[in-house]
Amino acid sequence: MNLLEQITRGKIQRKWIFIAMFVVVAIPYISPMGLPIPLSESTTNLYDVLNEIPDGSTVMFSFDFGPGVWAESGPMAVALVNAIFEKNLNIIFVTFVLDGPPMVDRVLKLSKYYNELEYGVDYCNLGYIPGFETGMGAFAADVNIVKVDYHGNQVNDLEIMDGIETLEDITAIFLVNSTSFDHYFRQWYGRGLPMMMGVQSSGVMLLMPYVQSGMVDGYLNSIRGAAELELLIGIPGSGVKRMDATSMMYVYSTVLTILAQFGLRRQDKEEI
């Protein structure tokens, strides 16, 4: 049985599919193709709303992802942080997942503005808030439930926290997450704050009901969204770098899916 027959009959060994994928994905890194990156409405909406926020305002950024999903969430977080600091806004970082706090530091170090920022004035990392949805609700009602930040400083001593008592005292909510979205809207929606987010491609479908109902002011769709925002703010990063490989992988996955259909149909016929 030759290779084509193996593929169309669904008999191919798994390792060959992966080896081919490695090759397909490696090509754009070795020889970049420069495929065009058209801007989507979701990203331009986010950029427009971000630009409407008054300079010097304080926003909250919920980092609800860990190192396991860095590949997708990392570029989005870096692009968003760059866009926020470019607008001269201050950020209060929080996280409701256990492995989120180190991600804040990692993203900040990759930010273009890292060396120009002062901790406690331009940004702070309040660290992990336990309880997930309960924690979100409690934090929205009283920011002072967090006494000590991720680096061991008293939260009351941080200049950025002056005058911030509840969620209503901040100007906008940003988040990048690796879970579903229901709890964010249950706890934070309806307070008159714009909500913008970076979404993994697997989560976009779950976000759609909230986009359709106008509850989301803008979102980044995975690597592509990150690449689009990087282009909009003029700071190319991992998103732009990965777009060629992402496109190649999408094409490869689509071809495999079509070939698998032939294989399944053949199998069905043979069983009959």
Partner 1 sequence: MEMSEILVVLMGSSITMMGWSLIYKENVFYRVIEHLIIGLMTGYTAYTTLTILINNILMPLITDGAYLNIVPIIFGLLLLTRLSKDYAWLSRWGIAALGGIGTGVAIKGVVQAQISNQILATALSFTAGDGLTNFNNILVFVGVLTSISYFFFTFGPNTSTGKILLPLGKVGRLFLMATFGAVIGSDVLCNGAFLLERMEYITTVQYAWVPAVIALALIAYDVLKSRASA
Question: Interface with partner 1 by CB under 8 A: which residues?
Answer: 14-15, 18, 21-22, 25-26, 29-30, 69-72, 74, 98-99, 101, 127-128, 130, 133-134, 137-138, 145-148, 152, 182-183, 185-187, 189-190, 200-206, 209-210, 212-215, 222-223, 238, 241-242, 245-246, 249-250, 253
Q: Where are the beta strands (DSSP E) in 129-266?
A: 173-177, 195-199, 218-221
Nearest residue (CB) to partner 1, 111 versus 222:
222
Nearest residue (CB) to partner 1, 89 versus 155:
155
Q: How far is it, in rounded angstroms, from Cα 178 to Cα 184?
A: 12
Nearest residue (CB) to partner 1, 86 versus 102:
102
- Which of 24, 42, 38 shows the shortest CA–CA distance to 203? 42
- Which of 235, 237, 255 shows the shortest CA–CA distance to 247? 255
Least distance (Å) from partner 1 to the CB of residue 51?
26
**Exposure string (b/e) for 114-134, b if CB count within 10 Å is 16 or more?**
eeeeeebebbbbbbbbeeeee
Q: How far is CA 113 from CA 64, 84, 89, 252, in A?
A: 22, 10, 12, 37
Least distance (Å) from partner 1 to the CB of residue 60?
17
Least distance (Å) from partner 1 to the CB of residue 152?
8
Nearest residue (CB) to partner 1, 202 versus 267:
202
